[in-house]
Amino acid sequence: MKAVKFWAIAVAALAAGSAVGAELYRWTDPETGRAMMTPTLPPYPVKEKQEGGSLPNGNVTKLILDENSAPYKAVMAKKKAEEAERKRLADEKAQAARAAEQKRIAEAEAAKARLEASARAEQERQAKIRAEIQAEKDKQANAEASALYRKLCPGPIEDFGIQIGMSKERFRQCFSTDPDKVNATITAGGSKEQWVYLHFSTGPRYFYFMNDVLVAIQK
């Protein structure tokens, strides 16, 4: 395909020259890198001429340009500078793209961190609310339990609410610790029991039951 194109250029160049005995020059343009076929010499110093074949209406001379000449070097320097500029622009574009991507990632991570912090704060707030609700429930339950205890055990607090006249069962509800010793007596009038607590909160204590009812307390 390149050969067809080259010879098409050659034919066009030949047509532009004299009809008879025209000479064509084949050379490589240093600026574009393309093969050229012209009826005149290129605008660059020629280092060497070689026979390049013939056409029906003229001969083809292959030209080797002088790469050390000032015009050739100027073109190559310009080409190199343009290539460097293209590379610089491409690098700047790539660097800008990387910076934009890094910024996007950083913003996404920051947004994620904010969402996680907000979620943690909401969890802590909900936990605090649940704790306050539970504390209020516990407080209410303790108050109700205390009220019920005082209702069942209305005696002095230091005596665990025990008072004369309560049954053994109620006594146990108020003070569930087993006595250190139990002295029991059965008479015609019923049963009598003495419950001895040697380590009561305020010293030894003796409780007397008649027919399962507390009738006396000895301190």
Q: What is the pLDDT of residue 212?
A: 94
pLDDT of 189 = 81
Residue 81 structure tokens = 């500078």
Residue 158 pLDDT: 80
Compute the half-sphere exposure of residue 212: CA atoms within 13 Å on the CB side of its CA: 5
Please give the pLDDT value at position 9.
47
Looking at residue 19, what is its pLDDT?
A: 42
Contacts (Cβ under 8 Å, ≥6 apart) of 48: 63, 64
Tokens of 78: 């310009």
Domain ranges, ordered by start, for the chain: 2-68, 157-218
CATH topology of domain 157-218: Beta-lactamase Inhibitory Protein; Chain:B, domain 1 (3.30.1450)
pLDDT at position 28 is: 96
Q: What tens-digit pLDDT sequence spans the chain (219 residues)?
A: 544 444 444 445 444 444 445 789 999 999 999 999 999 999 999 999 999 888 877 799 999 999 999 999 999 999 999 999 999 999 999 999 999 999 999 999 999 999 999 999 999 999 999 999 999 999 989 898 888 888 889 888 888 899 999 999 999 999 888 999 999 999 888 899 999 999 877 789 999 999 999 999 998
As a 3-state breakdown, the chain gives helix, strand, coil percent values, each rounded to 5, of 50, 30, 20
**H or E element at residue 21:** none
